[in-house]
Structure 1
Amino acid sequence: MVSPFKLSVCPHDTAKNLLGWFTLNTYLQRNLGIGIHFDPHDSFLEERQAVLDRPHHVVYANPYSVLCFARERGFVPVARPAGIVDEAIVVARPGAPRGAALRIASATDKLIIHDLGLKVLDGLDIDVRQADFHFVGNHLNAAKAVIDGTADLGIVFNETWNGLNPSTRGQLEVVGESHDGLAFHCFMVSPEWADKREAIQRILCAMHEDPAGLRVLDDLRFTRFEAVGEEILKPLTVLLGC
């Protein structure tokens, strides 16, 4: 019988290591003593809408979704990966001229990386009102669009950039990057599970002290989780200008 309680995880993270997130869900279930069903999605927008449309109890959300889930469903942040922040990197072909009218590739305007990228472009004195934006579905495609010559600039997630192989990075030039340090993925708990919020936070934040938990963290390339709360929402609101 499928558990009525559900976990959802940002597709950017499940795409990197789907099995690792199933393992984390198993760890959370064992330590919480409650069955939790994990049903991953391939699309950012589909995953976000699924959480908004159907009951979910724990989510690991990207910054844009954090605000959506808090505002529309009353989710509360509980834990984040220590030392990991979401930043935007703007790339171009090496030596390529940058005129007034530009083709700019971005994964989607429904992720905070796009908004951070717009701030970087503004700092480069690029008038985004005159730009032709191409929304290409993911951050890797944004980099590829620049390499292929179908875009003059690309807005890329810093984690995606760091994960590119040297030959791919060699075909691109970083022309700007954000350093806000205010955006990050985090776990959130639904209002229906308010009574379990502290227990979930405690389990997540103690994983690095448990050999079994540490193995899960290592597999997901996290060092540890640290506690957060609703104080993270206001800076995200300012960052997104909403």
Structure 2
Amino acid sequence: MILNLTVSPDFAPDHISGWYIFNTWLQRQLGTRVHLELYDCFDKQREDIKAGKFDLVYANPFDASMLVRELGFKAVVRPLAKPDETIIATNAESTINNVEDLQPGCQLVATDDPDVNRIGMIMLEPADLDGDNTKLKTVDSYIIVAKHLLNQQADAGFFLKDAYDELSDLIKNQMKVLVSSEISVVHHALLVGPKLQQYIPQIQKFLLNMSSNEKGKGVLESMDLDGWEVMTDEETEFMIDLIDTLID
């Protein structure tokens, strides 16, 4: 049996090798081959997920909603103490110091990560800004979002907080944060497809024990994770309902 794993494209490029290390570790724990496929585009990945290509998905909150509600996946674990938050930032030399300084017609830049973008737009509401009176440019990665801000090609940009934090100090020192969300109940999660759900207790056990031995700790470090915690059905449904409310 060969299992197929994919990972939400919003992780930092520095951790590509970490996911391959995790993939090798997972194969050894499960005693079966696991093929990891990474994407640099959310839309292409969603297309392949909907086509039934994957058995395991490390998904962002928006895609977790699709996976559970439409495709019958089940959330198994989420990263320990690592909620998904959204940051709005601008160039450090900009005269914009808070979201209220942004004006109608301003140029925004973001990836095509829908939950980050929706939360970002909600955080712009105090400035009476929305999709109708702003211009949003979509780019392929958070590095490119930062580049647009540094080159003064946009007034503000939306970032997943983890992605912003993992930018180099050289880049972050040329930007300033206008606002950061504090939702705390929105997370990435590892989800298991319908064909594998009898193995969920086994998969959970392996993942929850990762941080208790040196080899597992090393794998987690390479992914910039401290560990995993169980994600219950109730927590999954609550998060999905919240995301659906935000997106609608």
Indicate whether 1:234 and 2:234 are aligned: no
Corresponding residue for residue 82 of structure 1: 80
- Residue deviations 1:97-116, cap 9 Å, x none? 632221111112x4311111
* SS of residue paired to 2:109: strand
Shift of 1:234: 2.6
| Aligned equivalent of 1:159, options 147, 154, 162 | 162
Corresponding residue for residue 107 of structure 2: 103
Task: Give yes or no for contact 1:6–1:58 (8 Å, CA) kept in 2.
Answer: yes
Corresponding residue for residue 153 of structure 2: 150
Task: Give yes or no for contact 1:77–1:187 (8 Å, CA) kept in 2.
Answer: yes
What residue identity is the alignment partner of 1:228? M
Task: Give yes or no for contact 2:3–2:34 (8 Å, CA) kept in 1.
Answer: yes
| Aligned equivalent of 1:170, options 170, 173, 182 | 173
Shift of 1:80: 1.0
Q: How does 1:61-210 map to 2 (within 5 A)?
A: 61-93=59-91, 94-96=94-96, 98-108=102-112, 110-210=113-213
* SS of residue paired to 1:5: strand
What residue identity is the alignment partner of 1:95? T
Task: Give yes or no for contact 2:62–2:243 (8 Å, CA) kept in 1.
Answer: no
- Cα RMSD after superposing both structures: 1.9
- Residue deviations 1:197-232, cap 9 Å, x none? 111111111111122212211221211111113222
What residue identity is the alignment partner of 1:239? I
Shift of 1:14: 7.1
Query: Structure 2: any 5+ residue segments left out of the alignment?
Result: none
C-alpha distance in 1 between matches for 2:147 and 2:126 = 23
* SS of residue paired to 2:11: helix
Indicate whether 1:10 and 2:8 are aligned: yes
Task: Give yes or no for contact 1:143–1:155 (8 Å, CA) kept in 2.
Answer: no
Task: Give yes or no for contact 2:15–2:224 (8 Å, CA) kept in 1.
Answer: no
Query: Structure 1: any 5+ residue segments left out of the alignment?
Result: none
